[in-house]
Amino acid sequence: MLLVAGLTGGLPTVAAVASAVGVSVAAHATRLVRVALAIHRGSRGLGPCRGAGLLGLGLLAGGCTVVGLAGYPAGLTGRLGFAGFLVAVGVQLTGLLMLPGAAATPAARLQRLLDGVAVGTCLFYIAWLLVLAPHGGGGPRTFLAGLISCAAASVALITGLRAARYRTAALACSGGTALSIAGLAGLVAAGLTPGAATWLAAAALVAGPALAAEGARRAEPREPNPADADGSFAGYPLLAPPIGAALLATAYLVVTGGGVPDRSAIVLGLTAVAALAVREALAALAVRRYARRLAGREAHFRSLVAGSRDVTVVIDTDLVVRWLSPAAARQFALSEQDVVNRPFTAMLHPEDAARVVDWLSAPGKVSAPPDKAQPSLLEARLRDGYGRWRDTESTLSDLRSTPEVAAFVVHIRDIGDRRAMERTLHQMAFTDQLTGLANRRELLRAVAAARSAREPAGAVLIIEPDGLTVLNDLHGREFGDAVLIELGRRLRSGLDTGDLPARLAGDQFAVLTPAGSILAYALASRLVTVLSEPYRLPGVTAHLSAMVGLAEVAGATGVDEVLRWADLALLRAKRTGRGSVEWYDKSMESALLRRMAVEQELPGAIDRGELDLVYQPVLELTHRRAVGAEALLRWRHPRLGAVPPAELIPIAEDLDLTDEISRWVLHRACRQLSSWLRDGWDLWLSVNVSARQLVSPGFVPALSGAIEAHLVAPGRVLVEVAETATGDRPTPDAREAAFAAVRLLGVRTAIDHFGTDPTSLAHLRRMAVDVLKVDRPLFTEPAGRGRLAAPIMDVVMSLADRLGLEVIACGLEAEAHLETVRAAGCHVGQGNLFGAPAPAERVEAYLTDNRSPSL
């Protein structure tokens, strides 16, 4: 507005100009102070807000100087205006240098100041030589005002150009400050005399604070970053043009004959040289400090790299090694000549090289720079200086986007000791320490892997040697361990490559084979043969046998079920006998589960009242008169149902319950016989026992105690032992002694089911036997072949007559059976033809219906 008014001739008064300028400057100074206060509230500190505050105070000082120029007499105008000018310029420059982004450190602010002084002095030097000096130059105050103005404006502009942050805001602040200084200098120099120069200076003084206030408002403060400090040679290009221009101006003056520079020019030159010298000295000191810092960092880096156990390798984009840390020689015996300028893949194992290259080449797989993401880990085998493959773990960082590196940085660590420890731990966790075979955990893992295949196949063999417990008892655990070691060796040598041998626990072994059912069975048979060969150890030769249970991997719902099936098959093999090999099947499982249920429930059956006796009458065949009865054991379980003696007695023998059951049966039978005798029935009663029950030390005392307890005549009791139980176990001598002991009590003895199994006639002659009970196969005519039963019965009856034995025909179910045995001379028999086994009450009813004379 002032400029427009001055050009149109409508000039305001000097007081009006001064007032307008003062109000405008004060308004913008107030804005700067408000910005400073806002910065102070946000940061809670004085550091970030000082620049805006001082800049505002400097502008306010300049406005006050302008107002003062209009109100004081002319004699004081020069001195007071110059002093206000100096204060305003100094405060403004201080605030500008302290704005955020202008200069981070005091050294940088001093460099900005010296750069500005040098540039401003050179510019004023040129103006002095070419313009001011030829026209008289003015007074000393004008000389100083011009010099200070040029220097201050240069400082402001250089500060804006060299700003590290907020470039737009910094340029606005520096430009506004430069305009303010230039306008204030013009007003001070002109003394507010009317004229175009005054109006231009006033306009600059009005526009400068507005521009500076707007720039300060846009600059948001943040903590200074030391990396933003100017410690480089970036300032040199700004100094070179002014110095060159000053030299050209001097040469022009000399060449054109204008004389030599006067005293003022010499002072300006010396001032510029001094500022430049001080600036260069400070720059040199900064460079030295920077060089020392770099040297310290390099030494620190080298000490870290040299002392580190990790090997650092720098690889370019072509995967060629460009640098290798000194730790490579210590850790892997690798020198720079062996590695540098060679492909990185040449160091890697062929099986790992392709994987590493793919990993580096795949986008998104390589880690970002360290400040953005954690580096990725990669395991690979690396060849050391001795040609050995070493297990390593590498940290790879992609620094290709960093200009100073522009490569991959790989930190390699030797993990051989850790891998060895892992292998040792794996061996301890998945290997049996005695035999060196896989343990149960490893077998389960392998079975699970076989089941997870697309088409599960193979079989599990569970092997258990028989006789190892006896060897441990006879020769000690050390001998047993030696046998187990040899057994494991034989097991391993007898398998194919794809088979996995394992020791499950104790003396139980297993094999996982991928073979089919036929080959698996052949393998099991071969292992039984191999493991049954004699074990020749120092001083002792051991003989073992083996049983094997097999189960297929396919079809099971889980790994545990596969092993359970094999265990069930092994259990069946144990019951079959030594050297047996059994496959699992559903029917076998049902039978074994039934047996295990019986084994669980049989103990305590007597206390629960679940055992009972049924009776079948024995008749004199001519008159069909009852002469005796046979007591038969029955077990009725609420869940298992009726359990026959043929199933119950073997399990009772395995559980050592035969003595307890024998006592119960003898007492129950003798009590029933005593009751019948008291009721007037002339009967004898037979009791079935097994061979193991007969030879048991407690049987004869139990029999004697039952007879005495129930007051029964010993001759009315008949003890029956099945012919199938008179084999080799127990021994013939033990059986003969047991029969004799029973005979000494006055109790009669009988061999049941005579003729159904081979019995030595010599043993029959020596045993104290009174009765032979022949079974139905001897007197039943074979299908399609008649008239054979009668001769056989004739032979049996003739043999019994010669040995003085009584014969009882068992299992009579038809009249033809009755005719055959009667024709042979047998007079006593029993069977369903006369009555099925029944409780005592029903037998008593039968006796009543077919009453026989009492004693």
Of residues 588 and 560, more confidently modeled:
560
> Which of 70-79, 195-204, 738-747 has the highest average model confidence (pLDDT)?
738-747
| Structure tokens belonging to residue 524 | 């099991």
Query: What is the rounded average pLDDT of the residues 497-522?
Result: 90
Q: What confidence category does residue 530 fall into, taking pLDDT thresholds of 50, 70 and 90?
A: very high
Higher-confidence residue of 464 and 291: namely: 464
Residue that wins the pLDDT comparison between 39 and 248: 248
Residue 167 pLDDT exceeds 70: no
- Which residues are CB-neighbours of 784 under 8 A, at least 6 positions away? none
Distance CA 266, CA 145 (A): 17
Mean pLDDT, range 279-290, rounded to an integer: 80
Beta bridge partners of 549: 462, 582
Residue with the larger pLDDT of the pair 794 and 168: 794
User: Where residue 305 falls among pLDDT bands split at 50, 70, 90?
Assistant: low
pLDDT at residue 41 in the model? 56
Does the model's pTM come out above 0.85?
no
Q: Quick one: how many helices (H) and strands (E) in the chain?
A: 29, 21
What per-residue confidence (pLDDT) applies to 475?
Answer: 80
Contact 434, 337 (CB under 8 A): no
The pLDDT value recorded for residue 549 is 93
**Is pLDDT above 50 for 124?**
yes
What is the C-alpha separation between 113 and 154, in angstroms, rounded?
Answer: 9
Predicted local confidence at residue 12, as pLDDT: 53
Which is more confident, 208 or 570?
A: 570
pLDDT band at residue 672, thresholds of 50, 70 and 90?
A: very high
Q: CB of 40 within 8 A of CB of 88?
A: no
pLDDT in tens, 198-247: 677 777 767 777 777 776 666 554 444 444 444 333 444 566 777 777 77
| pLDDT for residue 615 is more than 90 | yes
Name the least confident of 94-103, 338-347, 386-395, 676-685. 94-103
Q: 3-class DSSP state for residue 499?
A: coil
Is the pLDDT confidence value at 670 over 80? yes
pLDDT at 37: 64
pLDDT of residue 307: 61
> Would you state the pLDDT for residue 53?
65
Q: How far is CA 571 from CA 50, 500, 549, 565, in A?
A: 94, 22, 7, 10
Decide: 463 and 530 in contact? Cβ < 8 Å.
no
Q: Which domains does the chain have, with CATH numbers?
A: 2-221+238-282 (no CATH), 309-421 (3.30.450.20), 435-584 (3.30.70.270), 609-849 (3.20.20.450)
pLDDT band at 60 (very low <50, low <70, confident <90, very high): low
Q: Please say if the pLDDT value at position 631 is more than 90.
A: yes
pLDDT reading at 702 higher than 70: yes
Q: Which of the four pLDDT bands, split at 50, 70 and 90, describes residue 38?
A: low
User: Which spans in 452-516 are helix H?
Assistant: 468-475, 477-493
Summarize the confidence of residues 69-84 as an average pLDDT. Answer: 57
- Whether 833 shows a pLDDT value over 80: the answer reads yes
Instruction: Give the 3-state secondary structure of residue 103.
Output: coil
Q: Return d(Cα 211, Cα 174) in angstroms, integer.
A: 9
What are the tokens at 327?
Answer: 């730790």
Residue 849: band (very low, low, confident or very high) from pLDDT cuts 50, 70, 90: confident
Residue 513 is predicted with a pLDDT of 92
Q: Evaluate if residue 586 carries a pLDDT over 90.
A: no
- The closest alpha carbon to 349, from 389, 387, 312, 379, belongs to 389
What is the arithmetic mean of pLDDT over 582-598? 81
Tokens of 209: 């604070």
d(CA 551, CA 462): 9
Please check the confidence at residue 45 and state whether its pLDDT lies above 50.
no
Where in 359-403 does DSSP place strands (E)?
376-383, 389-398
C-beta of residue 527 within 8 angstroms of C-beta of residue 463: yes
Q: In the predicted model, what is the mean pLDDT of residues 9-28?
A: 61
pLDDT on residue 358? 77
Who wins on pLDDT, 236 or 63?
Answer: 63
Quick one: pLDDT band at residue 39, thresholds 50, 70, 90? low
DSSP per-residue codes, 249-278: HHHHHHHTT--S--HHHHHHHHHHHHHHHH
Whether the Cβ atoms of residue 22 and residue 64 lie closer than 8 Å to each other: yes
pLDDT-derived band at 284, boundaries 50, 70, 90: confident
- Compute the mean pLDDT over every residue in the chain, rounded to the nearest whole number: 78
Q: What is the mean pLDDT of residues 251-279?
A: 75
Q: How far from each other are the two terminal CA atoms of the chain, in whole angstroms? A: 160
Residue 692 in this model has a pLDDT that exceeds 90: no
Q: Rank 148-157, 175-184, 625-634 by mean pLDDT and report only the highest.
A: 625-634
DSSP category for residue 11: P
- In the chain, the percentage of residues whose pLDDT exceeds 90 is 16
pLDDT exceeds 50 at position 765: yes
Encode 12-21: b = buried (16+ Cβ within 10 Å), e = exposed: bebeebbebb
Residue 28 has pLDDT above 70, yes or no: no
Q: What is the mean pLDDT of residues 821-829?
A: 90
